[in-house]
Amino acid sequence: MNATTPISGARLQQTSILAAELGDMALQKEHAHALNCPHCHESIDISSALYEQIEQQVHSRLEQRFVQQRTELDAERSQLSAAAIDLQTSKADLEEARAQHAEEREHNEERIHEAVINRTNSMRKALEKEIQADHQTEITAMRTELEASSLKVFSLHKVQAENERLKRIHLELEAKLEARFEKRHSEQMTEERLRIRKAEEQRTKLAVTEKEEVIRQLNTQLQDAQRRAQQGSMQLQGEAQEIMIESWLTSAFSEDTIEGINKGARGADTLQTVHSEGVKVGSIYYESKRTKSFSERWLAKFRQDMQARGVDFGVLVTQTMPKNMPRMGLRDGIWICSFDEFKGLAVALRECLLLLVRSRAAAASCADRHEMLFKYVSGNEFRLLVENLVDGFLTMRSDLETEKRSIQAAWKRRETQLDRALLNTTHLHATIRGIGGTAVAPVAQLELSEV
């Protein structure tokens, strides 16, 4: 603080009063009047004498006051100097205290920061130990469940249920790990995200299922339409061939009776009754097939129809010949031929019937029962009966083989489904191992399946 402090207000007022008095005295001196002495008649300046006296008095008073003021000013300056020194000392102490406080605060901040870091590290380690313990427990439980699920792989629905449960466990474990590593700040966001994901997956799954169902229905409708169109086309083609067969037989054998079998009725397509001089000598049954493949089941059905009608010969006119039979031939008592071959075959079979009638007429006198039994056993009716019995056994064997193939196909489908379920389980275990790392122990069966 500066020692030359301004003079106080009272001291300034006193000084102003003295200055005013000096000014008045100077003014009176200027206007002073001289007096004449009555004795010597000399001029005496009274004002000057009085002024000098008053001036001396004033100077004396001013000097006293100046000394007094000078003393007071020196005392005041001393006080101010002492106050300034005290102020400087206080300021230095304040700066020292401030520096010490700043140092202590910095030291305290360092200690607090170090304590916070230590507390955070200890909390992190404790949390990591807790997560690791929970993680190990859950992984152990999951490994146990996976080992148990491998024993249930023979049941498709159980495996699927197990897979869904493991998926839910996987999602929950992922949510827990994420929430704990983020100090549980994003738990609500995770739950909302999971809910939205599940809802979106459900909506997507429903949409895909609906589209798949629409596609399946469209495919079914398309297949039905194609099948109906193909059946209609095949039916028209077969009917055209039947009409041509019936028309040719009618024109070629005018003395015979040509009878077309009604649609939907049991039996073949056309029945030819052969006549010789107005007498019935036999019959020939015609069945028309115009398909892209040959079926052995036609023969068994045709033989039953022949037995029901009691005909002598059966002719199957087909567009597609059976395997290992490129041309016309006899199989299982039925003549099989193409449309081009059927005309010559029809003429030959009719002549056979006429020859058979002539032979029967020549042997009409033989009435011996043994001979009649021999004829019956060696006849076409007995042969057809035996063939139908054999066909029954063969049909049973064929049904058994069909059932066997069906069961094997079902086993194959189940084996494929089980392989798919096992593959999904392997992928799920690999995903969990990718999350858990070495904490997830490998499963020997799944390791082998992955190889």
User: Is residue 245 included in any domain, yes or no?
Assistant: yes
Could you tell me the residue range of the domain that residue 317 belongs to? 240-365
> Among 69-83, 277-291, 373-387, where is mean pLDDT lowest?
373-387
Confidence bin at 449 (pLDDT 50/70/90) = very low
Assess contact for 14 and 44: CB atoms under 8 A: no
Residue 322 main-chain phi, psi, to 5 deg: -70, 165
Q: Comparing 429 with 367, which gets the higher pLDDT?
A: 429
Q: Which of 316, 348, 365 is the last residue of a domain?
A: 365
DSSP secondary structure code for residue 379 in this structure: S
Confidence bin at 340 (pLDDT 50/70/90) = confident
- How confident is the prediction for the chain on average, in pLDDT? 74
Residues 6+ apart with CB under 8 A from 115: none
Q: Comparing 138 with 105, which gets the higher pLDDT?
A: 105
What's the CATH number where 248 sits? 3.40.1350
Assess contact for 236 and 228: CB atoms under 8 A: no
What total of structural domains would you count in the chain? Answer: 2
User: Is residue 252 included in any domain, yes or no?
Assistant: yes
The percent of residues above 70 in pLDDT, for the chain, comes to 64
Residues 6+ apart with CB under 8 A from 70: none
User: Is residue 163 included in any domain, yes or no?
Assistant: no
**Would the pLDDT of 47 be above 80?**
no
Residue 48 main-chain phi, psi, to 5 deg: -65, -40
Give the number of other CB atoms < 10 A from CB of residue 180: 16
Confidence bin at 151 (pLDDT 50/70/90) = low
Q: Comparing 172 with 331, which gets the higher pLDDT?
A: 331
Confidence bin at 382 (pLDDT 50/70/90) = low
> Among 194-208, 231-245, 405-419, where is mean pLDDT lowest?
231-245
**Would the pLDDT of 161 be above 50?**
yes
pLDDT at 314: 92
Place of tokens 């892209």: 292
Q: Which of 365, 396, 428 is the last residue of a domain?
A: 365
User: Is residue 214 included in any domain, yes or no?
Assistant: no
**Would the pLDDT of 34 be above 60?**
no
User: Is residue 276 included in any domain, yes or no?
Assistant: yes
Once rounded to an integer, what is the mean pLDDT over residues 26-54? Answer: 59
DSSP secondary structure code for residue 4 in this structure: -
pTM of the complete model: 0.34
Which DSSP helix (H) or strand (E) runs through 396? helix 380-436
Confidence bin at 148 (pLDDT 50/70/90) = low
Q: Which of 90, 113, 136 is the last residue of a domain?
A: 113
Degrees to nearest 5, angle at CA 166 with 161 and 168: 95
> Among 243-252, 338-347, 433-442, where is mean pLDDT lowest?
433-442
User: Is residue 279 included in any domain, yes or no?
Assistant: yes
pLDDT at 274: 93
Terminal C-alpha separation, the chain: 94
User: Is residue 109 included in any domain, yes or no?
Assistant: yes
Q: Which of 89, 98, 77 is nearest to 4 (CA)?
A: 77
Residues 6+ apart with CB under 8 A from 242: 260, 269, 270, 288
pLDDT at 3: 44
User: Is residue 161 included in any domain, yes or no?
Assistant: no
pLDDT at 358: 76
